[in-house]
Chains A and B, each alone.
Chain A
Amino acid sequence: MGSRKTFTITFASPRENLQETPTTLPTSEPETPQVSYTVQSSDMPTLNPRPYSCKYIAVVYAAGKFVTAGTLYWRMKKNGSSVRTGSSSISANNYYTVNAFFFDVDVGDVLEIALWSDQTDSDWDYDAIFVYVTRFQPFNLHSPRKVILAQIRMYNENATYPTLTQGNPSKWISYYPFEWCNEKIDNYVGLWSITGDVSINFWSPSETRGLWCIKYHGDLSRQNDAIIRTDSTYRPKYWSNYIRMTTICRPLRVE
């Protein structure tokens, strides 16, 4: 049995950009996407100590306004390749926010969103990026014999992330931000409530999904996908949730 460790996560502040004067959206796809972020080390969450493995999700926001009712078209690109395209109906005088979830990102990845409209008086004036953790695997499960986890405790902080300086957050699937996973079904065995605190004596986590992973917010659902949210009074319209998880456990080698 190895030593018991407490794994904590600290998120970086979102990077945001608000234009003084909104930029008019083109009526055909722009050659160069308007929103472009190269993931920096300062965007990445700090994990202490480092777990054996985990993956990162980056949510990139792009927001603006439609004066005339119309259709917003968008494309997500990762390192120059298209990963998702789509459209959304926007009512007259409504703000829109593209919430684009890029799965499995790392420092140096270039994440882009292209926007265009079927109307000539639509604009874009805000963008941001925030990175968080999923598929948390605290220990190597084969070192070299099979390893399971013991004396596990998982709990999330009673605060939501991210917080942007603009707009208003709402809670995403407020009762189920996390799933915790086991090796048998390689799927969830439990859903995490708003703020939860679970203790388990022994656990054999999923090889692919780790001890826990994000449920809707860009991993098990919304992986490399975007959701367009609208509001008549503000942008960005985004989700904020209880995603800062502390994990305490020790490895147990199975002979």
Chain B
Amino acid sequence: MRLTIVLEFKRDLSGSEIAKLDAELRKRIPELVGWSYSSLTGELTLDFGDAEDLSLLRRVEEWVAKAEGRKRRFEIIGVEKEWEE
């Protein structure tokens, strides 16, 4: 399952900022397999691998809601599941 969020800021991250964001995300969401961030679109995509646990989604939604409370705008724009042969 991959979940995509749009962040308000759209700026490039340095190597140390990437490490900081990585640590922060993994602390809050231990099930996270990986993530990617686009400085072009502000999209943050969270990759949960094969996990399809809806409670994960609820937890991320709660995190997003809390972040919104701190005046930082987030928007969940999509959840997708992919499969292959």
Contacts and interface: CB of A to CB of B under 8 A. Distances in A.
A146 B85 CA distance: 42
Quick one: which of A83, A85, A174 has the most chain B CB within 10 A? A85
Interface stretch (A53-61, A119-127, A195-203, A222-230): A222-230
B40 A224 contact: yes
B18 A73 contact: yes
Contact of B37 (A86, A88, A89, A216): A86
B12 A86 contact: no
Interface residues of B, number: 24
Tell me the dominant secondary structure on chain B's binding face.
Answer: mixed
A25 to B, nearest CB: 13
Contact of B84 (A73, A75, A85, A239): A239
Interface in A63-87: 71, 73, 75, 82-87
Interface string A219-241: 00100111110000000000100
Contact of B83 (A83, A85, A173, A221): A173
Contact of A225 (B18, B39, B45, B80): B45
Interface in A109-156: 116, 118
Nearest to A73: B18
Given A88-B47, A171-B85, A221 B80 contact: yes
A88 B34 contact: yes
Contacts of B80: 221
A83 B18 contact: no
B53 interface: no
A50 B54 CA distance: 47
A52 interface: no
Nearest to A170: B84
B85 A86 contact: no
A172 B84 CA distance: 5
Interface in B35-83: 35-40, 45, 47, 80, 82-83
Given A73-B18, A228-B34, A83 B40 contact: yes
12 contacts: A29-B14, A75-B18, A82-B39, A84-B36, A84-B40, A85-B13, A85-B39, A86-B36, A87-B22, A118-B19, A170-B84, A216-B82
Interface of A: 28-29, 71, 73, 75, 82-89, 116, 118, 170-174, 216, 221, 224-228, 239
